[in-house]
Amino acid sequence: MFANEMKTHLTEKILPFWMNLKDDDFGGYYGLVKEDLTLKKDAMKGCILNSRILWTFSTAARILKDERYLPYAKQAFDFMEKFMDKERGGVIWSVTFDGKPIDTTKHTYCQAFAVYGLAAYYRATGEKKALDRAMDLYRVIEDKCRDEGGYGEAFQIDFSPESNEKLSENGVMASRTMNTLLHVLEAYAELYRAGGDETVKKAAQDALECFLKVMYNKDLRRLEVFYDADFNSIINLQSYGHDVEASWLMWDAVEAVIPENEQTEYKAMCLDLLNSVLERAMTDKGFHNECEKGIVDEKRVWWVQAEAVLGFENGWKLTGDEKYKENLKKVWQFIQDVTIDHREGGEWFAYTTVEGKPLGKPMVDEWKCPYHNGRMCLRIAERNL
């Protein structure tokens, strides 16, 4: 039932929107579409957006067994060259519309998404160059971004440390973040499935152990979000979106790299996070964004709604409990009613109010991408829900 709906939405709404953003003059994909659907062809192009587009079209081609998406994946794969630092290794944050470096920050988060996209392209095409590049970036992360405690965040072009404005929010400056580790884990699970490298598997296991033993606050039933260098939480914040995303993403990684007889604690953590946000963030009109110091942010954020669908889908698959199915249906209905932009040529609104008023955010920018909602559709299609 859901699988057919999701396939239709993906192939008739999401993917065509992004296919129309292919830049045939300068490569890659256009980097900015305003909320009024105005395309800015001269906007900068971000590595994270390009990597996510690469992952989406690669995975669509693989799961849907549809080769018409491969040229779009190749467009993003070829443009990855513009972000690569062949001298010092790693990828930079952004380039101009025609491929010249702008922001040469080397962020661990950005390296991870490049790995994620390249590994997906290899899985779709078997092109060894993609796997080799992904493995090179994996080694950069492990050699340059990892320290004795875990993963650093932001680095200058020569990998000397830099302040972490890019992944810090809510008035704090974080030395380590849950968000970065989550997407390192996600990338490593994809890379391990692509290449089967045992060192990648071990690094993914280490990341999962950090979630279980450090970032998961069992008493408060949440993942802590922002940390100092010694993993002391520096803000009283629950990110509902990240917790529901982590509830299934961590389990997906567990299935890839943790032996079945060692999965019990991880399963309990994932379900506890899911049940926590079900109780605290789920409403009849979509999913809240976050809660800081007891104050709930009720903005309806596009990616949070998509990840809520996948969190509930995973809970349903793991337990068979119908409450997860019912809440999946509720969120999906809210997405259809409010989050999807039903204008001709539209995709999903980035932020809206509970009532559905768009809040002025771009339809495309360095963060607004086809990865969350595209993955929602692809995962449910793949699992044939």
324-348 pLDDT tens trace: 999 999 999 999 999 999 999 999 9
Considering the entire predicted model, what is its pTM?
0.98
pLDDT tens for the 385 residues of the chain, in order: 789 999 999 999 999 999 999 999 999 999 999 999 999 999 999 999 999 999 999 999 999 999 999 999 999 999 999 999 999 999 999 999 999 999 999 999 999 999 999 999 999 999 999 999 999 999 999 999 999 999 999 999 999 999 999 999 999 999 999 999 999 999 999 999 999 999 999 999 999 999 999 999 999 999 999 999 999 999 999 999 999 999 999 999 999 999 999 999 999 999 999 999 999 999 999 999 999 999 999 999 999 999 999 999 999 999 999 999 999 999 999 999 999 999 999 999 999 999 999 999 999 999 999 999 999 999 999 987 5
* Burial category of 28 from C-beta neighbours within 10 Å (exposed 0-12, middle 13-18, buried 19 and up): buried
Query: d(Cα 380, Cα 110) in Å, to the nearest integer?
Result: 26
Whether residue 378 contacts residue 2, with contact meaning beta carbons closer than 8 Å, is answered with no
Q: Is 379 helix (H, G, I), strand (E, B) or coil?
A: helix
Q: Which of 178, 224, 214, 196 is nearest to 135 (CA)?
A: 196
Q: How far, in Å, CA of 151 to CA of 136, rounded?
A: 17
What percentage of the chain's residues is helix, strand, coil (to nearest 5)?
55, 15, 30
Q: What is the pLDDT of residue 40?
A: 98
Q: Is 152 left (phi over 0), alpha (psi -120 to 50) or beta?
A: beta
Tokens of 59: 């995975």
Question: Angle at Cα 255 formed by Cα 250 and Cα 324, nearest 5°?
Answer: 60
> Which residue has tokens 């001269």?
42
Angle of helix 108-125 relative to helix 47-64, nearest 10 degrees, comes to 30
Q: How far apart are CA 344 and CA 360, in angstroms?
A: 18
Domain 2-382 indexed as CATH 3.90.850.10:
no
Determine how β-strand 161-162 pairs with β-strand 154-155. antiparallel
- Virtual torsion, Cα 266, 269, 275, 277, nearest 10 deg: -120
pLDDT value of residue 383: 87
Asked if 45 and 28 count as a contact pair (C-beta separation under 8 A), the reply is: yes
d(CA 238, CA 235): 9
DSSP secondary structure, 31-100, as one string: --B-TT--B-TTS-EEHHHHHHHHHHHHHHHHHHT-GGGHHHHHHHHHHGGGGB-TTT-SB-SEE-TTS-
- Enter the tokens of residue 33: 């579409």
* Segments making up each domain of the chain, as ranges: 2-382
Q: What is the pLDDT of residues 133-179, one digit of tens each?
A: 999 999 999 999 999 999 999 999 999 999 999 999 999 999 999 99
Between CA 127 and CA 342 the distance in angstroms is 37
Beta carbons of 289 and 240 less than 8 angstroms apart: yes
